[in-house]
Amino acid sequence: MFTRRGVMVLMASLVPGLLVGCKADFDPEAIPESVARFPRTPIAGDMTSTRVVLTFYVADDSPVTLRMWTDEGVVVDQAVDPSGDGFHKVFVDDLTPGTTYRYAVFSGEAPDFEDRSLIGQVRTAPDADALVPVTIALLACVGQGTVLPDYYLPEGSAAPTPEPFQWEVYTHAKEHDIDVLVHLGDQAYLDFVWHTADGTYEAYLNAWGYYHGGGYRDLYPLAGLYATWDDHESTDNGNFDPWDMTAEDQAKLVNAQDAWFATVPIDATARGPVWRGFRWGQTVEVLLLDCRYELQPDHQVSEEQLTWLLDRIRQSPCRFVCVASPKPFSVISSTTPLAQDNMERWENYPLDRDRVTALLDELDARHVIFVTGDIHMNYLGRTRLSGEATSDRLWEVCCTSGNVNPLADKLDPAQFEFVDNSPHLPVLTFDPGAGTIHVAFHARDGSLSFERTLDDV
């Protein structure tokens, strides 16, 4: 399923004489893009200071070359053989910290490239001791600004999806200088693959094309991705409990998860834990949680995941810790209870949440910020309406990229100073020099809806 190879990287900045090609020899824009051969956006992700993972799709499964370059010249030329289904995942090592690379997939071999994919860029994390600002954009629950999401409808269903999905909010993302994209889940709504296409692996792979071949083409070429997941990458969580599934449903879930691991650039060759962390120098440690598939009747996450989270919060050398939790950590005060479907929040799992709050209070960890999704609204708020403990006063940013919750306006403004359920791109800038986190919410037409510099962090 995967293409894993050792990749030779020539250290352009250290040994210029070993450049694969100098910039003057290589003009990627002069090579035409082929949407027929490369209909989906390549995606870079799970960046460390020296490593990047890339996923891409070649529709005719022909031999291709993955090329990465900087302003100085080409630094990676990786020949990639056909995979059998056109899906590839390539792991690139020995990159330079704090460096912006551009990349694309080209048909054939250099120098006789016929055509290419979209051109993307990805930044490696800076050196371990670097203290530089880091900008993160949040994504979750993609859609059109309606209550119902863009469900992909397979062939054979009443109204099969005719074209890849497009979303206005992502067309403006290029107006920002983003280091990292964090996806908090519901990157696609694949419920009908589960229901009407037998939940096969091939059907899930095909369905991803209507997302990664659509509006994500505006977004993913801009920066590397750290993605976690929620329920709709397989189906709605109302259809099953992870701890109580039939054999048939278990098989569908494995197919959905395998397709996610094949198409999303998570640093893994096979299905496994999705919770993981990344440090950007001394500035911010990003901790991605899995709040879906380790769920138990009394626990939001597994003991292993919870222990890891507590350990990372305690041990992190970074000025800030950003916990990317697909479920809100806040105790949400609202005049109208949010829908039953949205009750899988940390506040309903006190056995786990209390262990996190105890540590946050012990450490007076005001430098920890939560980012979340799932409940189809954007907000900036405190983790609790009242209370003076550190764990009551932390900040949480919630994101919806598309789907809207009509109950969002029932949230208490005393806890949430900004609430808007229409699609937004939240952008957070962690500034270790100023000791602040700037939070901005950009509306789907690109306008700024709200911004605030958090200075108590």
**Least distance (Å) from Fe ion to the CB of residue 215?**
16
Whole-number Å distance between alpha carbons of 257 and 187: 13
291 counts as binding Fe ion under rule CB under 5 A: no
**Least distance (Å) from Fe ion to the CB of residue 383?**
21
> Letter for the amino acid at 7?
V
Q: Which is nearer to Fe ion, 281 or 326 (by Cβ)?
A: 326
Q: Which is nearer to Fe ion, 52 or 338 (by Cβ)?
A: 338
Closest to 43 in 3D by CA, of 257, 199, 261, 202: 261
Please report, as residue ranges, which positions from 336 to 365 form the binding site for Fe ion (by CB under 5 A).
Answer: none
CB within 8 Å of 15: residues ≥ 6 apart: none
Name the H helices within 197-301: 201-212, 247-263
**Least distance (Å) from Fe ion to the CB of residue 343?**
14
Site size with Fe ion, rule: CB under 5 A = 2
* Binding segment (CB under 5 A) for Fe ion, from list 41-49, 123-131, 181-189, 219-227: 181-189
Question: What is the CB neighbour count within 10 angstroms for residue 302?
Answer: 17
Whole-number Å distance between alpha carbons of 253 and 175: 37
Contact (Cβ atoms closer than 8 angstroms) between residue 416 and residue 434: no
**Least distance (Å) from Fe ion to the CB of residue 237?**
10
Per DSSP, the three-state class of 398 is strand
**Least distance (Å) from Fe ion to the CB of residue 269?**
28
Q: Which is nearer to Fe ion, 18 or 147 (by Cβ)?
A: 147
**Least distance (Å) from Fe ion to the CB of residue 273?**
22
Whole-number Å distance between alpha carbons of 377 and 26: 44
Q: Which is nearer to Fe ion, 141 or 427 (by Cβ)?
A: 141
Distance spanning both ends of the chain, measured CA to CA: 44
**Least distance (Å) from Fe ion to the CB of residue 223?**
22
Please report, as residue ranges, which positions from 68 to 107 form the binding site for Fe ion (by CB under 5 A).
Answer: none
Q: Which is nearer to Fe ion, 277 or 423 (by Cβ)?
A: 423
Please report, as residue ranges, which positions from 420 to 449 form the binding site for Fe ion (by CB under 5 A).
Answer: none
Q: Which is nearer to Fe ion, 139 or 141 (by Cβ)?
A: 141
Whole-number Å distance between alpha carbons of 169 and 171: 6
164 conformational bin, left if phi > 0, alpha if psi -120 to 50, beta if neither: beta
Contact (Cβ atoms closer than 8 angstroms) between residue 309 and residue 323: yes
Q: Which is nearer to Fe ion, 117 or 187 (by Cβ)?
A: 187
Q: DSSP state, 411?
A: B
Please report, as residue ranges, which positions from 111 to 150 form the binding site for Fe ion (by CB under 5 A).
Answer: 141
Q: Which is nearer to Fe ion, 150 or 249 (by Cβ)?
A: 150
Whole-number Å distance between alpha carbons of 40 and 30: 20
**One of 46, 77, 179, 186 touching Fe ion (CB under 5 A):** 186
**Least distance (Å) from Fe ion to the CB of residue 403?**
5
Closest to 55 in 3D by CA, of 85, 90, 83: 90
The residues binding Fe ion (CB under 5 A) are 141, 186
